[in-house]
Protein backbone atom coordinates (compact mmCIF):
# COMPACT_ATOMS: atom_id res chain seq x y z
CA UNK A 1 0.00 0.00 0.00
CA UNK A 2 1.19 3.51 -0.81
CA UNK A 3 -0.14 6.99 -0.04
CA UNK A 4 -1.65 9.14 -2.79
CA UNK A 5 0.13 12.41 -3.57
CA UNK A 6 -3.08 14.36 -2.86
CA UNK A 7 -2.78 13.31 0.78
CA UNK A 8 0.74 14.52 1.55
CA UNK A 9 -0.23 18.03 2.68
CA UNK A 10 -3.33 16.92 4.59
CA UNK A 11 -1.45 14.14 6.41
CA UNK A 12 1.42 16.50 7.27
CA UNK A 13 -0.97 19.07 8.77
CA UNK A 14 -2.88 16.39 10.72
CA UNK A 15 0.37 14.92 12.04
CA UNK A 16 1.48 18.32 13.32
CA UNK A 17 -1.91 18.89 14.96
CA UNK A 18 -1.73 15.40 16.49
CA UNK A 19 1.66 16.23 18.03
CA UNK A 20 0.59 19.66 19.32
CA UNK A 21 -2.69 18.42 20.83
CA UNK A 22 -1.03 15.56 22.64
CA UNK A 23 1.90 17.67 23.81
CA UNK A 24 -0.49 20.06 25.52
CA UNK A 25 -2.68 17.21 26.75
CA UNK A 26 0.14 15.31 28.43
CA UNK A 27 1.74 18.49 29.79
CA UNK A 28 -1.44 19.89 31.37
CA UNK A 29 -3.62 16.81 31.98
CA UNK A 30 -1.48 13.70 32.35
CA UNK A 31 -0.61 14.31 36.01
CA UNK A 32 -4.06 15.46 37.20
CA UNK A 33 -6.49 13.53 34.97
CA UNK A 34 -4.47 10.88 33.14
CA UNK A 35 -7.59 9.09 31.86
CA UNK A 36 -8.72 12.18 29.93
CA UNK A 37 -5.21 12.57 28.55
CA UNK A 38 -5.23 8.97 27.26
CA UNK A 39 -8.72 9.40 25.76
CA UNK A 40 -7.51 12.47 23.86
CA UNK A 41 -4.43 10.57 22.68
CA UNK A 42 -6.39 7.54 21.46
CA UNK A 43 -9.07 9.69 19.80
CA UNK A 44 -6.49 11.82 17.99
CA UNK A 45 -4.52 8.71 16.96
CA UNK A 46 -7.66 7.09 15.56
CA UNK A 47 -8.44 10.22 13.54
CA UNK A 48 -4.89 10.39 12.20
CA UNK A 49 -4.98 6.73 11.15
CA UNK A 50 -8.32 7.35 9.41
CA UNK A 51 -6.88 10.31 7.49
CA UNK A 52 -3.86 8.29 6.40
CA UNK A 53 -6.03 5.33 5.34
CA UNK A 54 -8.30 7.65 3.33
CA UNK A 55 -5.42 8.46 0.98
CA UNK A 56 -4.25 4.87 0.61
CA UNK A 57 -3.57 3.20 -2.72
CA UNK A 58 -3.81 -0.55 -2.12
CA UNK A 59 -1.95 -3.01 -4.31
CA UNK A 60 -4.32 -4.57 -6.84
CA UNK A 61 -4.33 -6.61 -10.00
CA UNK A 62 -6.27 -4.35 -12.37
CA UNK A 63 -8.54 -5.58 -15.14
CA UNK A 64 -7.57 -4.81 -18.74
CA UNK A 65 -10.40 -5.79 -21.08
CA UNK A 66 -11.08 -4.13 -24.42
CA UNK A 67 -14.85 -4.70 -24.45
CA UNK A 68 -15.34 -3.78 -20.79
CA UNK A 69 -16.27 -0.56 -18.99
CA UNK A 70 -14.66 -0.80 -15.56
CA UNK A 71 -15.68 0.75 -12.28
CA UNK A 72 -14.01 4.17 -12.01
CA UNK A 73 -14.26 4.07 -8.22
CA UNK A 74 -14.71 1.85 -5.19
CA UNK A 75 -18.09 2.04 -3.50
CA UNK A 76 -21.65 0.78 -3.71
CA UNK A 77 -23.96 0.76 -6.73
CA UNK A 78 -26.95 2.89 -5.72
CA UNK A 79 -28.67 3.47 -9.06
CA UNK A 80 -29.04 1.80 -12.45
CA UNK A 81 -31.58 3.56 -14.64
CA UNK A 82 -32.30 4.95 -18.08
CA UNK A 83 -32.08 8.75 -18.07
CA UNK A 84 -32.21 11.68 -20.45
CA UNK A 85 -28.67 13.02 -20.72
CA UNK A 86 -28.34 16.69 -19.75
CA UNK A 87 -24.68 17.31 -20.58
CA UNK A 88 -22.69 16.68 -23.77
CA UNK A 89 -25.11 13.98 -24.95
CA UNK A 90 -28.66 14.75 -26.10
CA UNK A 91 -29.96 11.17 -26.19
CA UNK A 92 -31.07 8.73 -23.51
CA UNK A 93 -28.41 6.83 -21.60
CA UNK A 94 -28.02 4.18 -18.92
CA UNK A 95 -26.84 5.78 -15.71
CA UNK A 96 -24.90 3.70 -13.18
CA UNK A 97 -24.16 5.52 -9.91
CA UNK A 98 -21.52 4.46 -7.39
CA UNK A 99 -21.64 5.96 -3.89
CA UNK A 100 -18.27 6.34 -2.19
CA UNK A 101 -18.21 6.38 1.61
CA UNK A 102 -15.32 7.97 3.55
CA UNK A 103 -13.98 4.45 4.14
CA UNK A 104 -13.58 3.64 0.44
CA UNK A 105 -10.43 4.11 -1.63
CA UNK A 106 -10.92 7.49 -3.31
CA UNK A 107 -8.64 7.26 -6.32
CA UNK A 108 -10.72 7.46 -9.52
CA UNK A 109 -9.58 5.47 -12.57
CA UNK A 110 -10.28 5.50 -16.30
CA UNK A 111 -13.01 2.94 -17.05
CA UNK A 112 -11.80 2.52 -20.63
CA UNK A 113 -8.84 3.30 -22.86
CA UNK A 114 -9.36 5.93 -25.54
CA UNK A 115 -9.44 9.67 -26.19
CA UNK A 116 -10.72 12.29 -23.77
CA UNK A 117 -13.04 14.44 -25.90
CA UNK A 118 -14.63 16.51 -23.12
CA UNK A 119 -13.53 17.56 -19.64
CA UNK A 120 -15.41 20.23 -17.72
CA UNK A 121 -15.69 21.38 -14.10
CA UNK A 122 -19.03 22.66 -12.77
CA UNK A 123 -19.52 24.68 -9.60
CA UNK A 124 -22.55 23.65 -7.56
CA UNK A 125 -24.18 22.71 -4.29
CA UNK A 126 -23.10 20.13 -1.71
CA UNK A 127 -26.19 17.97 -1.33
CA UNK A 128 -25.66 14.53 0.18
CA UNK A 129 -24.17 12.29 -2.51
CA UNK A 130 -27.18 9.93 -2.64
CA UNK A 131 -29.63 12.78 -3.26
CA UNK A 132 -31.29 12.35 -6.71
CA UNK A 133 -30.39 15.93 -7.69
CA UNK A 134 -26.74 15.68 -6.67
CA UNK A 135 -25.88 14.45 -10.18
CA UNK A 136 -27.03 17.73 -11.75
CA UNK A 137 -26.84 20.33 -8.95
CA UNK A 138 -23.71 19.48 -6.96
CA UNK A 139 -20.14 20.51 -7.68
CA UNK A 140 -18.89 18.01 -10.26
CA UNK A 141 -16.41 17.28 -13.02
CA UNK A 142 -17.52 15.52 -16.18
CA UNK A 143 -15.29 13.62 -18.61
CA UNK A 144 -16.26 11.97 -21.90
CA UNK A 145 -14.17 9.11 -23.28
CA UNK A 146 -14.33 8.04 -26.93
CA UNK A 147 -13.28 4.59 -28.04
CA UNK A 148 -13.90 3.04 -31.48
CA UNK A 149 -16.61 5.62 -32.19
CA UNK A 150 -18.44 4.96 -28.91
CA UNK A 151 -18.60 7.41 -26.01
CA UNK A 152 -19.26 7.30 -22.27
CA UNK A 153 -19.44 10.08 -19.71
CA UNK A 154 -18.09 9.87 -16.15
CA UNK A 155 -19.09 12.41 -13.49
CA UNK A 156 -17.13 12.94 -10.30
CA UNK A 157 -19.68 14.44 -7.90
CA UNK A 158 -19.00 16.22 -4.62
CA UNK A 159 -21.18 15.47 -1.59
CA UNK A 160 -22.03 17.10 1.74
CA UNK A 161 -18.55 16.30 3.07
CA UNK A 162 -16.47 15.99 -0.11
CA UNK A 163 -15.70 19.52 -1.28
CA UNK A 164 -12.70 19.06 -3.47
CA UNK A 165 -12.78 17.27 -6.80
CA UNK A 166 -9.46 16.70 -8.56
CA UNK A 167 -9.31 15.69 -12.22
CA UNK A 168 -6.16 15.22 -14.26
CA UNK A 169 -7.63 14.88 -17.77
CA UNK A 170 -7.73 17.31 -20.70
CA UNK A 171 -9.54 17.11 -24.06
CA UNK A 172 -7.41 15.47 -26.74
CA UNK A 173 -5.53 13.33 -24.24
CA UNK A 174 -5.09 9.61 -24.94
CA UNK A 175 -5.57 7.55 -21.77
CA UNK A 176 -5.18 3.96 -20.68
CA UNK A 177 -7.79 1.87 -18.91
CA UNK A 178 -7.27 1.81 -15.08
CA UNK A 179 -4.83 4.77 -15.10
CA UNK A 180 -5.71 7.57 -12.66
CA UNK A 181 -8.30 10.08 -13.78
CA UNK A 182 -8.57 11.97 -10.50
CA UNK A 183 -9.38 11.97 -6.79
CA UNK A 184 -12.32 13.07 -4.62
CA UNK A 185 -11.65 14.01 -1.01
CA UNK A 186 -13.89 12.56 1.71
CA UNK A 187 -16.85 10.59 0.41
CA UNK A 188 -18.86 11.26 -2.71
CA UNK A 189 -20.32 9.68 -5.84
CA UNK A 190 -19.36 8.79 -9.40
CA UNK A 191 -21.92 8.45 -12.22
CA UNK A 192 -21.38 6.69 -15.55
CA UNK A 193 -23.59 7.49 -18.53
CA UNK A 194 -23.45 4.52 -20.90
CA UNK A 195 -24.98 3.82 -24.34
CA UNK A 196 -28.35 2.07 -24.18
CA UNK A 197 -26.85 -0.97 -25.90
CA UNK A 198 -24.27 -1.44 -23.14
CA UNK A 199 -24.75 -4.71 -21.24
CA UNK A 200 -24.68 -3.83 -17.53
CA UNK A 201 -22.95 -6.50 -15.43
CA UNK A 202 -23.74 -5.20 -11.93
CA UNK A 203 -26.88 -4.69 -9.86
CA UNK A 204 -27.96 -2.25 -7.16
CA UNK A 205 -26.22 -3.04 -3.89
CA UNK A 206 -23.07 -4.46 -5.51
CA UNK A 207 -19.75 -3.14 -4.22
CA UNK A 208 -17.42 -2.66 -7.18
CA UNK A 209 -13.67 -2.17 -6.93
CA UNK A 210 -12.19 0.67 -8.95
CA UNK A 211 -10.17 -0.50 -11.94
CA UNK A 212 -11.14 -4.13 -11.29
CA UNK A 213 -14.91 -4.69 -11.47
CA UNK A 214 -16.58 -4.79 -14.89
CA UNK A 215 -19.57 -2.44 -14.82
CA UNK A 216 -20.72 -3.09 -18.39
CA UNK A 217 -19.72 -4.61 -21.73
CA UNK A 218 -19.96 -2.77 -25.05
Q: Which residues are catalytic?
A: 188
Q: What is the dihedral of CA 66, 82, 200, 59, to 10 degrees?
A: 70
**DSSP class per residue in 117-163:** EEEEEE--B---TTSTTHHHHB-EEEEEEEETTEEEEEEEE--SS--
Cα→Cα distances 117→70, 105, 144, 146, Å: 18, 27, 6, 7
Contact present, 69 and 93 (Cβ < 8 Å): no
H-type helices in the chain, by residue range? 8-28, 34-54, 134-137
Distance CA 114, CA 206 (A): 26
Q: How far apart are CA 108 and CA 71, in angstroms?
A: 9
Give Cα 36 distance to the centre of its chain.
36
Report which of 172, 190, 114 is spatially closest to residue 145, judged by C-alpha positions.
114
Tell me the C-alpha distance between 152 and 48, whole Å: 37
Pairing of strands 140-147, 180-184: unpaired
Amino acid sequence: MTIHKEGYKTIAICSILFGVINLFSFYFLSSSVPLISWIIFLGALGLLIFIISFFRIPKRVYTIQEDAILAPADGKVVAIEEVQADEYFSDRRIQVSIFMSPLNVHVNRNPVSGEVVYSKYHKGKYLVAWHPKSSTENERHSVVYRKSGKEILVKQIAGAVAKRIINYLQPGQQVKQTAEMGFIKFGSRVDLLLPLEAKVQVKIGDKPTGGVTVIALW
